[in-house]
């Protein structure tokens, strides 16, 4: 059984007491969403994900489709969710890891929009919010093993399942109908990318109590090392 030295304990406590940094990546994404809404209006035809337009070479929609929103309520809910999740989780990852998480969510949602039984058009951050939620919860579980984390994760999964079954959002009503399958795709991407990182840095199994990540964290306070 691994033991923790007094130096390890003090380093861990020191990290726990460090104030949260400004979530710059989150603020940038929120600002982009606001600018696009104010500048181009709701569900801007040139920016939403449109399967036919993408097939004709308008590849930017694979990114901008996640940043434009169908109405003011849609924008406010998504930006509020992004700010909360970014404040909670962005500093748990390096800048590159955070961007990788969001990119993996885009890829997963776009894949479902392209190959799944999805409507031809889509917009909004909600798929990516589920990616960040899943990745953040798993990362936080690694650090704290708090019983609240799997409870929140189960509740989020149950919400997505309920929405998929009833074909509507549980808490919101927007001009365009909700796409729970996009939420599920985003949630799955967050779980997969974080468990892949966890597995790469584990001494034992991904669910073991001793891993290289925790050792590195206690030594220098950095996040997951994915460069090696």
CATH level 3 topology of 23-220:
Rhomboid-like fold (1.20.1540)
Q: Would you state the structure tokens that stand for residue 169, as one six-digit string?
A: 């959002």
- Put simply, whether the predicted model's pTM sits higher than 0.85 gets the answer no
Domain residue spans of the chain: 23-220
Q: How far is CA 19 from CA 15, 56, 84, 149, in A?
A: 9, 47, 16, 21
Q: Would you state the structure tokens that stand for residue 50, as one six-digit string?
A: 């449109």
Q: Would you state the structure tokens that stand for residue 228, as one six-digit string?
A: 């090696």
Query: Could you read off the pLDDT tens digit of each residue along the chain, which spans 228 residues?
Result: 444 444 444 444 444 444 468 999 999 999 999 999 999 999 999 999 999 999 999 999 999 999 999 999 999 999 999 999 999 999 999 999 999 999 999 999 999 999 987 778 999 999 999 999 999 999 999 889 999 999 999 999 999 999 989 888 888 888 898 899 999 999 999 999 999 988 887 544 344 444 444 444 434 344 444 333
Q: How many CB atoms lie within 10 A of CB 11?
A: 17
């Amino acid at each position: 059984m691994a033991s923790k030295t007094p130096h390890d304990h003090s380093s861990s406590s020191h990290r726990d007491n460090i104030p949260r940094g400004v979530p710059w990546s989150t603020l940038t994404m929120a600002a982009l969403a606001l600018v696009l809404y104010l500048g181009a209006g709701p569900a801007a035809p040139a920016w939403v994900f449109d399967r036919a337009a993408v097939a004709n070479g308008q590849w930017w929609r694979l990114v901008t489709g996640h940043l434009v929103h169908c109405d003011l309520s849609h924008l406010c809910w998504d930006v509020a969710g992004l700010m909360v999740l970014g404040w909670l989780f962005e500093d748990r990852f390096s800048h590159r890891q955070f961007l990788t998480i969001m990119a993996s969510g885009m890829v997963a949602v776009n894949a479902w929009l392209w190959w799944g039984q999805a409507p031809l058009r889509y917009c909004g951050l909600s798929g990516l919010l589920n990616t960040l939620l899943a990745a953040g919860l798993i990362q936080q579980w690694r650090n704290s093993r708090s019983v609240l984390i799997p409870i929140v994760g189960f509740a989020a999964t149950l919400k997505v399942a309920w929405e998929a079954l009833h074909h509507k959002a549980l808490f919101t009503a927007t001009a365009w109908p909700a796409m729970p399958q996009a939420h599920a795709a985003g949630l799955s991407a967050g779980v997969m990318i974080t468990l892949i990182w966890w597995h790469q840095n584990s001494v034992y199994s991904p669910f073991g109590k001793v891993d290289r990540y925790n050792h590195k964290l206690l030594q220098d306070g950095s996040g997951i090392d994915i460069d090696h």
